[in-house]
Chain A
């Protein structure tokens, strides 16, 4: 399987290199859908220039990257394009290896459940075969590398790519079962953008499942393992934050990064829901709604953990999608990350209800974003409402896509345990409803 992966990687690198040399690179770097105030490359360069001028990069309101990024690019600024291409390749390879291992786990679990007679007799067509699962890791790598969102994100040199790499390594470490590495990568991801904190729950559930520790609130081994994992995570986070302090000898970066992410002072338009909402908010309610919107991101973790405790990878996918949709400064690079996981659930295709309409919505909205931006900002013939409407539609499309996949997943689980051909008490064909 290595050869097709290498081929895909080569094609992806060629596409990116070609775009770097073309005039599109400058155009893409300016796009607000690709570069947000948190991860734009222009701001990284500005932060390094401020450091050269002798001013702390965090004394202004332009730079919101972590000190480790300053440290990294202080040495690698000349090779920035190479760095971003390598991060994309690393993400794809990490996802490839992770999904390869995950497929083995899925297949083993399926075999166990068949032997334990947990499945209904007539679900043969729902059982997954190694043949069908053979190409999924390659498809995942392909989906990530050749997704136009990822390519644009890489050409714009948005540091979202680095965040994606860290999350991909976190997923790989979790699937391989290494709690220590998983905690370290999760700490790095949280350190950079705060929201991956919610991925603690699915990672914990996966590792517990792998250690065969049942998830019962009264079980001592459950709490022991949880405490261990939490301690590893918190210690790594504290170590990384202290390292950052020693880099610039001040705690200025904490309000500049985490205060900025949480309080959303910069209302630059992006593909998310926050900017126009807070541009039009009555000042009196501003704090209230900021809190509501931030709680919204973290809010779904516990209910999803309860419902999906047997399926932690799907939980991870849904959680990643929720972070990408509801974070305070989303970009298409975040969307590309969870879309890379879609081939893993390709067996749910027959249960998806609206996939055609939703794909059309997402594609059309992606094409309309630059058009309406141009009409508002450059031509002056539209106003902000046009761009806002496309933002709303794009987010609704994403939300319905995720809930569609969730519905299909739950439906397949029901069929697996209750049989594919359901009959009512009088023998006629039954309808399945969610009640």
Chain B
């Protein structure tokens, strides 16, 4: 009896053995790129890759992969999850093409597995759970701000066919990002904020910036080149742009300490790779204008977004890095004054604005610039407009170089009041060196008084529109191995070496709606019911009463009393 029980226990342990042998690996990376106007962009990426299949088999032993997210993916049948919380706006014209852009506010897009039967229910549960994990008001995501794009968001990981009914996309432009959202994000990292690159993530410095974007991307990837098994990848990225002027000092020299008020002391012990890349590419083929101290151990060349770039590499895991000093404080000095005229023009950038006056109608205009000198390429534009701005599709005009430009694909889903927003997706061909203007007119609706936010005259936000394009690159790019190349080059899969994928977001819009008087509900109900009652009363009288000749009344009590007094006075009676 006992022997049998012990044997059974040993067998169980042996069976559970393979579960424990699933490998997971953490790579962390910091990319520092000086921006043309003197600002400094820092992009952190933490990538946990786990060779387990979250969908099948009960996985119970979590090591580096956070249990909250793992259980979420398994329980709700999520295939891909992308959540970004952003404050500020990436100025493409001044700062160049962004490595990873996110729209202002909160953005969540999710691909579900084909096995999920009720996608809307899973979506609702997912947004509520994420709202709890990240302390963000993602629970405000409901059918009035969720859309199902058909062309703009293809899966970034392994995909087995793309039925777009399994995709959901929502943007909350009004969402504010603060320390409360950073703390749970940092807690998901294997080392937390205690070791490695994450020690630099101090809230007081990160939010004192022009642009702050933190994101979580979960997707399935091939385990190896033969792609017979699936691994799950969790990427946490944080992009922050520090402004020259907020730092106070006149000089534009940067250092890690100046940006983050901390320096790097060691690598995360759980990380298999921990590197700092500094972009020292020369502009306009001149000699370097940046001097980096301490001198880097190696230099890496890569073609990123069609441009050849040179990076200085600091490997935190190499023992020679911390030989001279206990901490690493990368410093960048400008060798010569920055010439403001060599602002690079990004190949694709866009702007959006609202025009019109008054609170009745308006017009949304989007300008898309293609500055490539000789190549034309198509771009997919996705616009999500809330239902209370009633778009008129017959007023949609697309004009390029003075002529009308017909899109080759339009998918328009009109809004339903209080149920779903407008969805407009178009594939527009952008000729070389041109500006395309897309305008559409709308009417503003009057909402019920309870549907206005507490500050109704602030206005209502319209989420950013999304532009997705395969931009042709001047320099051919080799297909690099995902595992060997730096993380910042490998989020978007590239189909061939001649173009790179870019996803841009335009500005969110702020639109005012006419408001009723919020102090008046009782008064309005009374007055309107009075008018209806006037009609009812008049008609009631006319319908139920008939005309009679008036009979003289003999007088009431008052009249008789008056007559008695008059008799005493000797005056004729009434």
Give the interface of A toward B (CB within 8 A).
Answer: 30, 32, 42, 45-46, 48-50, 53, 55, 59-62, 265-269, 273, 275-283, 293, 296, 300, 303-304, 306-307, 325-326, 376-378, 380, 383-385, 388, 392, 395-396, 399-400, 403, 406-407, 410-411, 414, 422, 424-426, 430-435
Chain B 518-537, CB-CB to A under 8 Å as 1, else 0, gives 00110011011001101110
Chain A residues with Cβ under 8 A from B393's Cβ?
A: 46, 49-50, 53
Majority SS at the chain A contact face: helix
Chain B 343-360, CB-CB to A under 8 Å as 1, else 0, gives 000000000000001111
New A-B contacts (9) at CB < 8 Å, excluding given A273-B531, A378-B358 = A53-B393, A266-B445, A383-B515, A384-B446, A388-B524, A395-B531, A399-B534, A435-B545, A435-B546
Q: Across the interface, name the chain B residue whose C-beta is closest to A379.
A: B358
B412 close to A53 (CB less than 8 A): yes
| Bound: A55/B515 CA distance, A | 32
Chain B residues with Cβ under 8 A from A300's Cβ?
A: 539
A378 close to B357 (CB less than 8 A): yes
| Bound: A384/B545 CA distance, A | 39
Partner of A376, one of B394, B514, B546: B514
Chain B residues with Cβ under 8 A from A266's Cβ?
A: 417, 445
B535 close to A399 (CB less than 8 A): yes
B547 close to A42 (CB less than 8 A): no
Query: Closest CB-CB distance, A301 to chain B, in whole Å?
Result: 11
A267 close to B549 (CB less than 8 A): no
| Bound: A383/B520 CA distance, A | 12
Query: Closest CB-CB distance, B381 to chain A, in whole Å?
Result: 16
B447 close to A62 (CB less than 8 A): no
A384 close to B534 (CB less than 8 A): no
| Bound: A369/B202 CA distance, A | 58
Chain B, interface size: which category?
35 or more
A-B CB pair tally, cutoff 8 Å: 164
| Bound: A61/B448 CA distance, A | 16
B148 within 8 Å of A by Cβ?
no
Chain A residues with Cβ under 8 A from B19's Cβ?
A: none
Chain A residues with Cβ under 8 A from B550's Cβ?
A: 424, 430-433
Chain B residues with Cβ under 8 A from A50's Cβ?
A: 393, 412, 414
B514 close to A399 (CB less than 8 A): no
Q: Among B358, B514, B541, find the residue whose CB has the most chain A CB atoms closer than 10 A.
A: B514
Chain B residues with Cβ under 8 A from A49's Cβ?
A: 393-394
Query: Closest CB-CB distance, B410 to chain A, in whole Å?
Result: 6
A325 close to B547 (CB less than 8 A): no
| Bound: A304/B542 CA distance, A | 10
Query: Closest CB-CB distance, B466 to chain A, in whole Å?
Result: 20
B2 within 8 Å of A by Cβ?
no
CB contact list, B225-266 vs A, under 8 A: none
| Pairs of residues from A and B, 3 with the lowest C-beta to C-beta distance, nearest first | A60-B414, A49-B394, A403-B538
Q: Among A42, A48, A60, A326, find the residue whose CB has the most chain B CB atoms closer than 10 A.
A: A60
In the complex with contacts A45-B394, A50-B393, A384-B515, A396-B414 CB distance below 8 A: no
| Bound: A48/B394 CA distance, A | 9
Query: Closest CB-CB distance, B536 to chain A, in whole Å?
Result: 8
B532 close to A62 (CB less than 8 A): no
Q: Across the interface, name the chain A residue whose C-beta is closest to B545.
A: A434
B528 close to A392 (CB less than 8 A): yes
Chain B 443-458, CB-CB to A under 8 Å as 1, else 0, gives 0011111100000000
In the complex with contacts A281-B525, A384-B514, A407-B418 CB distance below 8 A: no
Chain B residues with Cβ under 8 A from A273's Cβ?
A: 528, 531-532
Query: Closest CB-CB distance, B456 to chain A, in whole Å?
Result: 12
| Bound: A417/B195 CA distance, A | 105
A280 close to B449 (CB less than 8 A): yes
Query: Closest CB-CB distance, A238 to chain B, in whole Å?
Result: 28
Chain A residues with Cβ under 8 A from B547's Cβ?
A: 410-411, 414, 432-435
B448 close to A279 (CB less than 8 A): yes
Chain A residues with Cβ under 8 A from B387's Cβ?
A: 61
Chain B residues with Cβ under 8 A from A434's Cβ?
A: 541-542, 545-548
In the complex with contacts A303-B543, A392-B531, A432-B547, A279-B516 CB distance below 8 A: yes
